[in-house]
Amino acid sequence: MNEAAVDITGLVKSYPGSESPAVAGIDLRVKAGAFFGLLGPNGAGKTTLISMMCGLLRPDAGSLRMAGMDIAARPNEVKQRIGVVPQDIALYPTLTARENLAYFGGMLGLSGARLRERVNWALETARLAQYAGVRVEVLSGGLKRRLSLVIGFIHEPEILLLDEPTVGIDPHSRLFIYESLRAMNAAGMTIIYTSHYMEEVEGLCREIAIIDQGRIIARGSLDDILAGGAGTGAVEIRSGEALPDGTLERITRLPGVRDVERSGKLLRLASDSPMDALPGVLALLRRDGVKVLSLSHGAANLEEVFLTLTGRGLRE
C-alpha cells in the first residue's frame, strides 16, 4: 500500500490563446489506497489535471504515472486500471439504466457473464435495481448521478478519479455518493476527488492538495493542513457593551494580534498565536471597563486556510 498510485512530476499544460498555463508545474504523489482531495476554486486547473490523469489531455511537459505506468507510453493499460466519473452526467438519455451500464461496461472491456454480473452489482450498489429498465431521460438528477458514479467503478479499477461528482444534486444522493466512495476506499481503491466544496473534502479525504492558478499551494493530511493554518484560527469575544474609543486600536497593537474586526458587540481577532495573545486582550478589556460575556476559539477550516494562502475565497 506504500507504492504510489499517482506519481506526477513537473506537469505543465497550456491551452492555445491562454496567457497563463492551466497547470503550471505540478508535482504530486498519491499513495495507493489513499482518499485524496484536490481542492481549488473554479478555474484552478483541477479538471485539466484530472483530464491528463485519465489520458484525455496530453501534457506539454512533465511525467505522469498512474498505477505504476507511464500514461503516455501505455495509455490503454492505464485506462483499464482507472475509473473516471466526469463532471457531466455523461449518460445516453434514450438508453435504460441497464443498457447504459452494459454499454460502458463493454467499452471498459467487460463481456459475457462477467459483464452481466457487474451490471447487476452496479444496479444494486447504486440502488437502481427498480429503475434498471427505465430510460435515463426520465430519471431524476440524483439517480442519474448515482448511475454515472457506478459506471466509474463497474470494472473495479485500482484508481477512481472523480471530477466534482456532486454538482447540482440533492442531499440524499450526495450522501449516497459519499457512502459509496468510503466503501470503495475501504476496499482498497485509491480515490482522487476534486471539488470546490471544502465541506466535502474535509468530510471525505484524509489527504488533500490545494490547487490554485495551476499550482499546488498546500498539501498534506487534513490535520496537517488545518494545523498549518492554525494561525488563521479566530477568537470571538462577545462584550456586554460597545467598546470605548481607542480600545480597538490598542488591541491591534498587542503582541500576537494580526487583525481585529468589530461587528456591534462582537469582536473577532485573527492571531498567529491565539493562546498567547488572549491574556493580554482580556486584560486590556478589563482595564477599559468592558465586560466579557462569552469567548470562543474556532479551529481553522479549509476555507480559512485557502483564504490565508491565496487572499481569495474558494467560491470566488
Partner 1 sequence: MANWTNLHKLAASVSKEARQITRDREALLLLFAMPLLFVLIMSLAMRDAFREKGGVVLPIIVVDNDRSTVGSSIVDAFSALPAFKVDTAIEGGATDERSVRADVASGKHKFAVIIPEGTDKNARRRIQRQLRFVKGGTDGAPEIRLLADPAMRFDYRNLASTNLNRALQAIENRLLWEEFAALAGMKMTPERRQAAKEILTGNRPFAEVSAEDAAALGRKEAMPTAVQQSVPSWSLFGVFFLVIPLSVAFTKERQAGCLQRLRSMPTPLWVVMAGKAVSYFIINQIQFALMILMGIYAVPLLGGDRFAFGHAPLAVAMMSVAVSLAAVNYGLAAAAYCKTAEQATTFGGASVLIFGALGGIMVPKFLMPPVMQRLSAVSPMSWGLDGYLNIFVRNGTVRDILPQFAGLVCFAVISAAIAALKLRNIQK
Residues in touch with partner 1 (CB under 8 A): 51, 54-57, 75-77, 79-80, 82, 84, 86-95, 99, 102-104, 106-109, 111, 135, 151
Nearest approach, Cβ of residue 107 and partner 1 (Å): 5
Evaluate whether 193 touches 38 at the Cβ level (below 8 Å). yes
Q: Which is nearer to partner 1, 56 or 187 (CB)?
A: 56
Q: Which is nearer to partner 1, 110 or 290 (CB)?
A: 110
Please give the Cα distance from 293 to 286 (Å, whole number): 12
Nearest approach, Cβ of residue 137 and partner 1 (Å): 10
Q: Which is nearer to partner 1, 161 or 237 (CB)?
A: 161
Give the side-chain half-sphere CA count within 13 A for 267.
Answer: 28
Q: Which is nearer to partner 1, 167 or 282 (CB)?
A: 167
Q: Which is nearer to partner 1, 148 or 195 (CB)?
A: 148
Nearest approach, Cβ of residue 92 and partner 1 (Å): 6
- The 8-class DSSP code of residue 88 comes to S
Q: Which is nearer to partner 1, 108 or 237 (CB)?
A: 108
Specify the DSSP element, H or E, that contains 229.
none
Nearest approach, Cβ of residue 94 and partner 1 (Å): 5
Cβ count near 101 (within 10 Å): 27
Nearest approach, Cβ of residue 167 and partner 1 (Å): 12
Nearest approach, Cβ of residue 165 and partner 1 (Å): 12
Q: Which is nearer to partner 1, 136 or 198 (CB)?
A: 136
Nearest approach, Cβ of residue 278 and partner 1 (Å): 51
Nearest approach, Cβ of residue 44 and partner 1 (Å): 17
Least Cα distance to 50 among 202, 174, 209, 276 occurs for 209
Nearest approach, Cβ of residue 54 and partner 1 (Å): 4
Q: What is the 3-state secondary structure (H, E, C) of the chain?
A: CCCEEEEEEEEEECCCCCCCCCEEEEEEEEECCCEEEEECCCCCCHHHHHHHHCCCCCCCEEEEEECCEECCCCHHHHHHHEEEECCCCCCCCCCEHHHHHHHHHHHCCCCHHHHHHHHHHHHHHCCCHHHCCCEHHHCCHHHHHHHHHHHHCCCCCCEEEEECCCCCCCHHHHHHHHHHHHHHHHCCCEEEEEECCHHHHHHHCCEEEEEECCEEEEEEEHHHHHHHCHHHCEEEEEECCCCCCCHHHHHHCCCCEEEEEEECCEEEEEECCHHHHHHHHHHHHHHCCCCEEEEEEECCCHHHHHHHHHCCCCCC
Q: Which is nearer to partner 1, 103 or 197 (CB)?
A: 103
Q: Which is nearer to partner 1, 20 or 111 (CB)?
A: 111
